[in-house]
Amino acid sequence: MSRIVLVHGIGQEQESADALESRWIPALAGGLRSAGHPGLADRLWRDHRPGDEDCRMVFYGDLFLAGGRMGEGQTVEDLLPEQCELATELAMEWLHRAEERAADEVDRDEAYRRLGALDPDAPGRQGVRAAGRPVLNGLARLRWFAPAGMAFAQTFVNRALAQVTRYLTEEAVREEVQRRIAEQVGPETVAIVGHSLGSVAAFQAAHRVRDALPLLMTLGSPLGLRTLVYDRLPEAKTIPPRVGRWANFADRDDLVAAVPDLRTLFADPYGVLESDWTVDNGAEPHRAESYLGKKQTGASLGTVLV
């Protein structure tokens, strides 16, 4: 059981809980310090080592490693036809968001060109092997996805789409992630913090908690993708009933956070959900540590740690 439970996002299959904690916890401490909570920051991280505050990463990246218990089918091409359709739709959504919102004008122009080159009348059920491949190639050419070069971008886009698709469509994968979160959540837990795909898992876990959960924090969340993510959630489209406060943070240039303001999507009669354009993560808008280190993030966490 942990006081603060962290849930990572896509593309972490080569990492470990310890490695991610060594980056996330100092960043979170930095956010607390920026928000005027130096004592709380020291409880999380001090002198290059974890402090007294119990903060644990829920790691599930191994589920997507080829050869693992659930690891078969790690690229979009290996998915089932109906999964390929979902992956293609998600890739198209990211291209549209890049055309509308990418901070980089080159990326906006590239997304516009790529979308214009696609046949608008092509049947959606052709899957990734037909209509989908140009979409994936288009995403991989965006500098948003390719800070380390094209080869990395092609691998990242392919695996990221496969992981999101498998989590949304395979109950066994979802339930294993939820089991791992549940192992860390107990009466003493004051916050669940989820980034990217981990924010979807965190939201679902918050619906399952039995004890009061003071804070649910979602960072760079794709929960607002209507037909692709939102409509597929088996949970009620409401604030999780045991959550005292839900803080959702998004960078305007974060293409994964397709709908940054979630307040119109989740029934919230008591004003629990706080969601708006709130942070600027610079050149890496989806980076978890950039979200965690912000003053706004630290201010939200500080309210439940004091």
Looking at the fold, whether 36 and 129 belong to one and the same domain comes out as no
pLDDT band at 127 (very low <50, low <70, confident <90, very high): very low
Looking at residue 155, what is its pLDDT?
A: 65
Looking at the fold, whether 132 and 242 belong to one and the same domain comes out as no
Looking at the fold, whether 13 and 120 belong to one and the same domain comes out as no
Residues 6+ apart with CB under 8 A from 220: 9, 195, 196, 199, 249, 250, 251, 254, 256, 257, 285, 286, 288, 291
Residue type at 119 in one-letter notation: D
The domain that contains 21 carries what CATH number?
3.40.50
Lowest mean pLDDT among 10-14, 36-40, 112-116, 182-186: 112-116
Choose the final residue of a domain: 169, 197, 231.
169
Contact 230, 224 (CB under 8 A): yes
Q: Which residue has the tokens 């392919």?
A: 158
Looking at the fold, whether 179 and 293 belong to one and the same domain comes out as yes
Looking at the fold, whether 135 and 86 belong to one and the same domain comes out as yes
Structural domain count of the chain: 2
Looking at residue 67, what is its pLDDT?
A: 62
Domain extent, residue 91, equals 76-169
| Domain contains 71 | no
Rounded CA gap, 144 and 135, in Å? 15
pLDDT band at 259 (very low <50, low <70, confident <90, very high): confident
Looking at the fold, whether 251 and 271 belong to one and the same domain comes out as yes
Among candidate residues 265, 286, 259, 263, the one with its CA nearest the CA of residue 274: 263
pTM, entire model: 0.89
Looking at residue 58, what is its pLDDT?
A: 98
Choose the final residue of a domain: 136, 169, 202.
169
Q: How many CB atoms lie within 10 A of CB 302?
A: 17
Looking at the fold, whether 47 and 193 belong to one and the same domain comes out as yes
Residue type at 191 in one-letter notation: A
Among candidate residues 194, 216, 217, 235, the one with its CA nearest the CA of residue 12: 194
| Domain contains 256 | yes
Among candidate residues 193, 263, 192, 204, the one with its CA nearest the CA of residue 229: 204
| Domain contains 69 | no
More confident residue, 193 or 145: 193
Q: Is the pLDDT of residue 69 over 80?
A: no
Q: Is the pLDDT of residue 140 over 80?
A: no
Rounded CA gap, 261 and 246, in Å? 12
pLDDT band at 150 (very low <50, low <70, confident <90, very high): very low
Looking at residue 255, what is its pLDDT?
A: 85
| Domain contains 174 | yes
Q: Is the pLDDT of residue 125 over 50?
A: no
Looking at the fold, whether 187 and 229 belong to one and the same domain comes out as yes
Among candidate residues 36, 41, 2, 37, the one with its CA nearest the CA of residue 25: 41
| Domain contains 211 | yes
Looking at the fold, whether 186 and 89 belong to one and the same domain comes out as no
Looking at the fold, whether 163 and 224 belong to one and the same domain comes out as no
More confident residue, 276 or 268: 268
Lowest mean pLDDT among 88-102, 185-199, 274-288: 88-102
Looking at the fold, whether 214 and 270 belong to one and the same domain comes out as yes
| Domain contains 162 | yes
Choose the final residue of a domain: 113, 138, 169.
169
Looking at the fold, whether 33 and 151 belong to one and the same domain comes out as no
Among candidate residues 163, 172, 160, 165, the one with its CA nearest the CA of residue 136: 160
Q: Residues of the chain with pLDDT > 90: what percent?
A: 57
| Domain contains 223 | yes
Looking at residue 124, what is its pLDDT?
A: 42
Q: Tokens for 20?
A: 């991610």
Angle at CA 279, nearest 5°, toward 49 and 30?
15
pLDDT band at 115 (very low <50, low <70, confident <90, very high): confident
| Domain contains 68 | no
Mean pLDDT, residues 102-128 taken together: 65
